[in-house]
Structure formats: structure tokens, C-alpha cells
Structure 1
Amino acid sequence: MIVDDDVETLRLVGLMLERQGYLISAADNGARAIQKAIAERPDIILLDVMMPDMSGVEVAKRLRARPETADVPIIMFTAKSQVEDKVEGLEAGADAYLTKPTQPRELLAQVKALLNRTKKMRSTGPIAAPAPRVRGHTIGVLSAKGGVGVTTVATNLAVTIRKLTGETVIVADYRPGTGGVGLSLGFNSSNGIRKLLRQDAKAITEREIKNQVSTHSSGIQVFLAPDRPREAIYFMRIEQYRSIAKHLPFLAKFVIFDLGPSLPPVTQAVMEHIDEFIVVVDPSPDDVEQTKALLEDLNTLGVGPGRVRIVMVNRQAGGLQLTWSQMQEELDLPIAVVITPAPELAFSAHKAHLPMVLQQPNGLTAEQFTKLAAGILELVA
């Protein structure tokens, strides 16, 4: 199938391919191309990028998002020749990208190569029914106030689960403009993530999300948030973040969301996609009072005590603070684990862009996170 709003291009390319024995179908706009592709299931699609009603990039995304057309080979051909344009096309799902004016021999060679590859894949045997999609376990880490160690818990827990299971673990930073996952692990957020958050939520695909996931030296993967302070405006992209939260569990066995403090609209929007919550609390009387209010609001929003674990992070020895038993009594929930003070370890780990459990794998902090992870894995298994 050839898709181009230029009638002359449709005619010339169609004639060239017909002379080589191919049967041709044509569409002159994006919407019609999607309809025909679903109805006709073509062997290959030649797709122009610059069309008035819907760009070829958008057409490719929608075709890849539908099971009927997800595997149809796509060749994009366009006058847009910048590297960024090619990357955008390939990330949208194109298998090849040709720049106009395209030499007929080059276009024909690409068509033959992709058709041969598809033919070989189909001739290896009967096509088995697709395996059922497996959804990973999701954990949201949050707190009543900022600065109590949410990111520390999220990243160290991720590394510990990865170490214990060998499974894929993604940490998703859901705090645009204020998040610390990238900073703590030595990453900068990419423009691709910003583009993802600016597009229509319904058009976001797993493939696009996967392209924005980076791998840390520890083996965990991260989906970062825009990291400039002014980019807190992305908190308004609620539907985009909801869509990403829906797709992420199909990319990993475990997904840990760094939700930060309180219950902003983004956090409330993604709650339905989170299996359990870890509430991080500081042992100060004020934070315990704020955490009680947070737990009450979580319960009102449908997250009861059975989906909540309390993690006490004690950042300093001594001072005016409650004991773990006093906190349990105040919160009316058991403390899953107490993370004891380790300021020197925290400093050296941050400087090395490593979670503390890797900086000192046989230390007390690593033992405490192993206890937390084991409790989670016991129920998940």
C-alpha cells in the first residue's frame, strides 16, 4: 500500500511497483490509510511523512498500536532529511526511512528486502497464537512531605529486587521539575521524554515509552522526568502520565513509581495502575501527624491498609523523634522496615551515582532493604 497526498507520487511509484509484479493499493491521506490497512492487511506500507490531515509519523504510531497492523513493515519516504526527523520516524515504528527524491532502485531494494524478511519469518512454521501479555507488579513510593527519602527508597528497593530476582525492574520518576532519580543515578532526562509528554495521551505506545527507558550500571532501568525546575509544568500532563503508567507494567516484571510528596493530581490519576504503596515517614512528630492525614486520604481514594507498607527512614541519630513502636501506635499500621542513619554512606553513594545498597552491599542498609524487598516478593510470588 502506498500512502501519499501527492497524486503524481502515487501514480509514479504505483506504476514502478506494478511493473515488478506487485499489486498496489493506495491512500491519499492518513485517516484513509489506517482504515485501508486494517481492512486489507497489506504486505508492506510505503508511507509519506508530510501530509496535511495526519503526519506519517502519527499514522505509523497508530498502526503500531493496533494488533492487526502492528507487524506490517513500514517504509517512510519524505523530503525531511534531518537526523532528528529520521530518528522520530524510526521511533514511531518505521522499519526503513528514505529521503526524497528516492532513487527507484533504492526504493525497490528496500521493498524486496523487507518483504523477504517477513516471508522468512512466516515460513519458519505455523504462526503461533500470541502469548498472553504479562503485567508486572507496580509499587508507588510516596510521603506526606518532601525530603524524607522517597527517591532513596525507590532506587535502593529497585536494585535489591533486581539482585534477588534477576528480573527487569523499572524506576519511573513521576516528579517533573523536582524529581531526583536522574540526579542520584547520573542521568539527564532526554528531549524524547518531553516530546512524549506533549503528545496526545491516546497515541502513546509501549514502543515509544520503551525508547525513553535508560539502563543504569546496576541493571535497573529508569524512566526519567523532565528535570529543569521550570518543567514542573509537566505535572499538568495528567492524561499522558496516566497512559504511561498503564503501559509501563508490560515492559518489566516490577515497576517502582517515585511519586514524591503528598497526593497531587498526577498521583491520584495513576493510583488505579499501582498495586501497592510504600509510605515513607520521618520519625518526627510533625511528619507522623502529616502521614496520618495522608493515610486517611489514601483510604478515602480507595487505597486501604492492605495495600500500604510503612517505611521509617531515620536520617539522624538522637533528637526529638518517635520510636518505631510509638510510630506504629500513632499510625495504626506496622512498620515494614526501619532504615537507620548512614550519612557517610549516603554521601559517598550519591557522589558515585550509586544506590547505597551497591556502594556497601554487605552493610546494614543493604540488609534493611533486603528485608523490605523480601516482604514484597513473598506476596507477589
Structure 2
Amino acid sequence: MNLKELSKNLGLSQTTVSRALNGYPEVSDATRRRVEAAAKAFNYSPSNRAKGLATGRALAIGHVIPISTRHEMVNPVFGDFIAGAGETYSREGYEMVLAVVADADEQKVYDNMWRRRAVDGVVLHAPRMNDVRIPYLQKIGMPFAVHGRASGCKTPYTWLDVNNRRAFERATDFLIDLGHRRIALVNGLEYMDFADRRRAGYASALMAKDIPVDPTLMASGEMTEVFGYESMRSMLGAADPPTAVLCSSLVSALGARRAIEERGLKMGRDVSVVTHDDVLSYLQNGGETPIFTATRSSVREAGRRLAQMLLGRIAAPEGPHQQELLEAELVVGDSTGPAPRKD
């Protein structure tokens, strides 16, 4: 039975029935009890659309993915984040709206979503440096929360991020303490805020120990297995190759390991590898003993928490913005060891 049929059986308007089921005070106790009894008798559960009639909300959250980053849809990091956020939405009675759009149309899609009240807010993914989407969403008044941060955006907004700079500074220090001096960085796209912060942490740790920052030991690109492989293969073929490497994702670290083994070298003995591990459901970093030494943070938990922060923003749009910086844990696995001695 749907809302229209239930309303007809009761001889009441759909709005009155919906408001009765959602506890609105203007509905009398007698009417509320009558509606609740009928809903129970007919095994009626209000849909989000019916609830929306009563609350004036869509009870939906938007996730907009530009075509240029459509790989996000199959990226295990994105999948785990969405799974975590979905748990929060489901518990709070919200649905999720996913849209893959042309880059040039992204702002138009946000505008249409908000104007049609198709969603109550959006999660902003993969923030860039000076991200223009943030001031645009503020301009149109749409509630939003950012997975990450955007350097250069001065106005306050709600965000949740990992302390990427500190994580890679700590990982670099760990390798330096093992005696490594030729330390490479296989990073993400450095117009992305997280990758810029990771490079800054890596460079800061090197400079603090008077180790030159060598551009030939730094690669930036989309974090695929092939990119990790090709970057590591190129660096290992140089006259003064690295003895250690930091990778910005577990996927690119797998490619780096392939390049190491292809040259007849052993990871952890000849070349040490540290990666960032998002604690993924379907791409796990070994069992009790991790395969890779890693800076670790749960992206699924980040999805849960950021979704809750956004729902809080929707409920209290004039309240203070929430901002949370998560610290990554450094876990030691089999992929790192002392720097090899030179003959």
C-alpha cells in the first residue's frame, strides 16, 4: 500500500497522513493514533518521498563525480568511502544520489539539484588547490561537506581530512632512521590537495636532515598500478637509483613492487617501500603482519563520519562548521628494512 491508498482509506489528505506519521505537533493525538493504527494494520512504511512531503526535504544526499575522475567509481578507496557514508545515510533515513557528469557541467548539476530540491546537500570529493566548487556551493546556499581540504579557500566550511603532511613526514623520517638517503616519492596528481600536502611532508623531512630534495626521485600521476610500475622502473634504471620509495596508494605500491622484482631485487632488502593504506575491504594489506609498511587510516570510517557531519550541517545550517583532522597510524610491515650497504 502506498501513501495515496492509505490516505484514501482514512479519508484524509496525503499531507495530513504524512505529518501524522512523522510526529508533527499540528496533527491531533486522535488523528495520529488513527493513522498509526491504520499504517500498522496495512503494513505501510512511508517512503522517503512521502516523508519529504511532510518535512520539506528530499532526504537524499548527492555525490557528483566529474567525467575526468570517473575512475573514482571503480577506485576501491571511493567504494569504501561510499559504503561508510551509505551506512550513515541508511541509519538516518536518507538515500544517496550518484551522478557522473561532464566537468564543464558540474556546477550546473549542483545548481539543478539544489533548485529542484533533489538533494538536501552534497559531499565534495577530491578537492583541488583553490577549489572553485567550494565558493560556488556557498554562493547558492547548498549544504556540503568536503572529503579532504582545499588549500587557498579562506572561508570556513565543513571538512574531514587525514593529516597527509604529517603522515608522509613521519614515513620519510622512518626511512631516514633506517639509513636511507635516496628516497623516492610516487605521488598522486599534485594539483589535488592531498598529494600536495604529502609532497610537502616528504620534502620537509628530507630538508630537516639536510638531504637534498631530488626532482628525479619524484613522480606525480594518477595512482594506478601501471603508474607505480613505470615510475619505479624508470627510477631504478637511473645511475643513482633510490633505495626506498614512498607511494601514495596501495595500488601504486603494487606496481612499484612489480618493478622492483622485475629487476631481480627484493622488496624490503634491496628497496624499501612505504605506502598509504586506506584499510580497504577488497584490497587488504596482508593479515596480522602487513605486506607493506604503511601510513594507515580507514576511509570507510571517514565516510561514516563525514556523512554524519553533513547531516548535522543540514539540520543546523546556521551553526558552526565542523572540521576534523584524522591522524594516520604508521604500521611496520615486511616491505622495509635497513638501507643496503654500498660495495
Tell me: higher relative CO, structure 1 or 2? Use CA pairs within 8 A at least 6 residues apart. Answer: 2
TM (normalized to structure 2)?
0.33
